[in-house]
Structure 1
Amino acid sequence: PVIFAPSLLLQLLLAKITGHPHPQQQSIAHLSKMLVYKCMFTDDELMSDSYKIKDIVDEDGEVVPGLFGVESKIVAVGGGDIDIGCGNAFGGDDDAGGDDGVEKENNIISESAGFGLTEMPFNSKAEFKAFLKDYVRKVRSEMKSNGVPQEEIKQMMNEAPIFVKYLLSQYSELQFYVGRSMDPEGTMIFARFYGEDLTPTFVYIKAGLKQEKF
């Protein structure tokens, strides 16, 4: 539960009476509306809008429809704390506790700091192609079962050949991950190093994700 100081309670009450939201109310409302992206088949949580989401572009600088990417970073975990790169912005002491029990993990792969992803490689490009073909078919079927408007299904099917072609062209550069259920039939996430990046960008197929607000 959130505990407010008496003066803050009075401010919140005044805000309710006047109809002008207090900054604290706006902050709480924002936190309660975090958007989480889940696999439509396994219900695994795979991403949220607390991460910076961007378009994926091909070698010609064109946006690849049907995909989005998230740049990852290495964070310190363990020792009871997770350092997401804010230093002592929350009142922590840079020297307190040293590095005892602290490990460095990718903030998307990590079980504690991320989404608990597990690498699950393919044996060949042909196997990957077969997976994508079957996956698009399953997504289409699931969208129909869930009553998704026909226009959205048609859009996904128009985008599918483009993002499938792009992913196949990147096969040798990709690492393949699944969510916590480790179900190979679920949505797969693709990690790739772009340019001089020291950490990979994780690539998602939009249509295979469902959105929930918390």
Structure 2
Amino acid sequence: MLVYQDLLCGDELLSDSFLYKEIENGMLWEVEGKWVVKGSVDVDIGANPSAEDGDEDEGVDDQAVKVVDIVDTFRLQEQPPFDKKQFVTYMKRLIKNLTPKLEGEKAETFKKHIEGATKFLLSKLKDLQFFVGESMHDDGCLVFAYYKDGAVDPTFLYFAYALKEVKC
């Protein structure tokens, strides 16, 4: 199994059990999330409550909750939304912190295409949810989520060059 860690702070943000698609010249990874029910146990023992003078609602309330799989699995922490000025400031800091960690061709490709990825994200800014890793580190990389037209499940966006692949 492969886990993808934030190159800047080490938080686990994704794994290879979630398929991704490269967009914006490989600068961003697009990953489909899913709403799932956590904590629910549905045991079918073949009994028919109405035939056995039972109540349909009889049983234990197991406090099931709906969560987004990626957010829950990697313990992502939602952050307040950014306005355009805050987002541009964040991007400048990300580029400044990330560029020295990239080597050779990767650094050149990053510098060449990060502006296009930034413009893409800016175009969706009002629709984005912002997440950071579990440590909530100030210099950590953001993960973005939004709902495509008519989608029930969120789509997540990751900075590909800010992820470090680790074998588990």
TM range (shorter): 0.7 to 0.9
Q: CA deviation at 1:123?
A: 4.3
Equivalent position amino acid for 1:104 in 2: K
1:101 equivalenced with 2:63 (yes/no): yes
For structure 2, the 5+ residue unaligned runs are 46-58
Out of 75, 78, 85, the residue aligned to residue 39 of structure 2 is 78
Q: CA deviation at 1:64?
A: 4.7
1:43-69 deviation line (CA, Å, top 9, x unaligned): 10000110121234xxxxxx5530011
Q: Alignment partner of 2:71: what SS?
A: coil
Equivalent position amino acid for 1:71 in 2: E
Q: CA RMSD in A?
A: 1.9
TM-score, length-scaled by structure 1: 0.67
1:11-160 maps to which residues of 2 (within 5 A)? 34-56=1-23, 63-78=24-39, 94-95=43-44, 100-110=62-72, 114-143=73-102, 148=103, 150-160=104-114
Aligned to 1:164: 118
Equivalent position amino acid for 1:212 in 2: V
Contact 2:81–2:129 (CA under 8 A) maintained in structure 1? no
1:212 equivalenced with 2:161 (yes/no): no
Structure with the higher strand share, 1 or 2: 2
Higher relative contact order (CA 8 A, sep 6+): 2
Q: Alignment partner of 1:154: what SS?
A: helix
How many residues were matched structurally? Answer: 155
1:198 equivalenced with 2:152 (yes/no): yes
Q: Alignment partner of 1:199: what SS?
A: coil
Q: CA deviation at 1:153?
A: 0.8
C-alpha distance 163-78 of structure 1, shift in aligned 2 (>3 A): same
Contact 1:65–1:163 (CA under 8 A) maintained in structure 2? no
